[in-house]
Amino acid sequence: MSAVEGVLVLADGSVFEGDLFGATVPIATGEVVFNTVLSGYQEVITDPSYAGQIIAFTSPHIGNYGINATDFESRGTFCRGIVVRDVARRHSNFRAEGDLASMLDRHGVPGITGVDTRRLTRLIRDSGALPGAFGSASEADLLAAALAEPGTDGVDLVSEVTTPEAYRVDADDPDSAVRIVAIDFGMKRNIAVNLARYGSVEVVPASTAAADILGRDPHGVFLSNGPGDPAMTGGAVDTIRSLVGQVPIFGICLGHQLLGRAIGAGTVKLPFGHHGGNHPVKNLQDGTVEITSQNHNFAVDADSLGDAATMTHVNLNDGVCEGLRVTGEQAFSVQHHPEANPGPHDSNYLFGRFAEMIAGSNSNGAGA
C-alpha cells in the first residue's frame, strides 16, 4: 500500500512534510509536545494525561517491538495524534500481539511519519508548546485549524478522561483491610496496580464530592494524574480542600497541582512541559537524586507555597517544584510519576511511604 503524503503545520506557520499512517482523518489538531522516552510508546499513547495533545517522539524509530494488551495504561487513547521520524515497517518481540499502526487505526489516533523531529523538537524548545494540525488537507486549511486550536491552557480536559462510574481494584493481599479511594483525573492503570500492593482501591470519578468519598470510609485518598489546566478543575480543588486533615492524602502529577491549589498555592504553565523518562529530581529531604518519569505542562508555583507546605523535591533541569508536604497535615504529593510505565522506578518507594502514612494515621502515630 502506497504512503499517503501529509503535512504538519504549527500555529506559527512552520511546515513539516511526512507520510500519514494510523487512523485516517482529514485534519487532526492539538497542542504539539515532544516526549523523550526511548521505549514505552504504547504506554505514552494510552496515558490519559495526553488528552488534547499531539505527541512528537524524539526517539527516531518507533513501533519496532509492536504492541500488546498488557501495556495499555487506560481504557483507550486520548491523545490527538502522534508524530515520528520513522515508524517501523515490521515489529519483532515475543510479547507483541500486533503492530502500532493497526492499534492507532483501531483507536482512531492519526499519525504522521517521516517528519524531521529534531527540527520540530528544537522549535518547541525555543518557542514553547504550540497548537498544530496535520493531515492530507491543504497547508492553508491546516494552518487555519492550528490557529483555531485552543491548546490546553484554560481548558478542562479532565471531564473527557475520568471514569464514568466508580470501580474497584482488589488488594493483592486478600486479607488486607486497608481501603484506598483514588480520585480519577485521568488515572493510569499502573497506579492502581501499585496502590493495590497495600490495600483495595476504589476508583471514583473526578466529580465525586468530599462527603461521598469520606462516606466510603477510606484509610487514605489518592489524587491521580490527568490532563489540562488545574485552574479549570475548581470543583476538585474544593473537594481536596475538604479532605485535607480528614484522611491521609497522596497526589501525583495533576493531583499534585490540585493539592497545591487546595492549600492556596498557584500553578503556572511551563513553556514546553516535562515529557519523558529521564528527568533528574532531587529529594530535598535526604539529598538523593532520582531519575524520573514525567508528563505535565503545568506545575506548582514554589514561591506561592508560603507556610502552607514545604517543597520536598525539585527538578534539577529547571528548578520546578516536584514535590510538597502540607504543613501539619498528613498530605503529600509529587509532580513526577513514581509508577513509571514507561520510565525508571527510582521513585516507586513513594507508594510505600503513603502506606506508612496510612498505617501511622490508623494507629494514632505520626504520619510519613
Active site residues: 253, 337, 339
Residue 248, judged by CB atoms within 10 A of its CB (0-12, 13-18, 19+), counts as buried
CA–CA distance, 266 with 268 (Å, rounded to integer): 7
Residue 39's identity, in one-letter code, is: S
Q: Is 224 within 8 Å of 189 (Cβ atoms)?
A: no
Report residue 153 as a C-alpha cell: 491552557
User: Cβ of 176: how many Cβ atoms within 10 Å?
Assistant: 14
User: Cβ of 168: how many Cβ atoms within 10 Å?
Assistant: 12
Residue 333's identity, in one-letter code, is: S
User: Which of 290, 7, 317, 48 minimizes the C-alpha distance to 190?
Assistant: 48
Report residue 159 as a C-alpha cell: 471531564
CA–CA distance, 333 with 324 (Å, rounded to integer): 6
Q: Is 164 within 8 Å of 65 (Cβ atoms)?
A: no
